[in-house]
Amino acid sequence: MQKKKHTGALIGVAAVVLLLIGGGVWAKGYYQDHYVGTDYYTMVPVDYDLTPQMLHKQDGSNVGLGKDFELTAYNEQGEAKDVVFTVRGDDPAGYPQPGTYIYVKSSKYLVNGWNVIDVSEVPASVLTQIGAR
């Protein structure tokens, strides 16, 4: 009878350990997919419309005026990725302007940050890709 109690306890401990390991693997994958980014570069097209639009939350409620930028960006290996980021505000002068270069840090699912940069900061291989558009 004593052996059964020990066996049951061992099975319970093993199950908890497996759940913890599985949860850790899942958490690491989630973190990697959402928060570990790759460097991408793009340029706002010279004919890009900067008209402010009403921005909405996922539930449909308004959050004010701004602009969603939907651009194709490239990493140093020349791989393309569609990136989307939002700039809030009703004055287009505060938006990245047409013809400006943008550095984007993007994970598998999210844009984790962006900045307007000088053309000298864009890798030559990427300039070739941006020019090929």
One domain, residues 26 and 42: no
How many independent structural domains does the chain possess?
Answer: 2
Residue 55, domain extent: 37-132
The SS3 assignment for 50 reads: coil
One domain, residues 14 and 60: no
**pTM: predicted TM-score of the whole model, two decimal places:** 0.74
Taking CA atoms, 118 is separated from 12, 20, 22, 43, 127, in Å, by 59, 46, 44, 10, 12
One domain, residues 104 and 90: yes
Residues 6+ apart with CB under 8 A from 64: 54, 55, 88, 90
One domain, residues 46 and 7: no
Q: Which two tokens stand for residue 48?
A: 């890009």
- Confidence band (pLDDT; 50, 70, 90) for 34? low
One domain, residues 56 and 7: no
- Model pLDDT for residues 84-100, shown as the tens digit of each residue: 999 999 999 999 999 99
Please report, for the domain that includes residue 80, its CATH number: 2.40.50.480
Residues in the chain: 133
The per-residue pLDDT of the chain, averaged, comes to 85
One domain, residues 95 and 66: yes
- Model pLDDT for residues 75-133, shown as the tens digit of each residue: 999 999 999 999 999 999 999 999 999 999 998 888 899 999 999 999 998 998 887 55
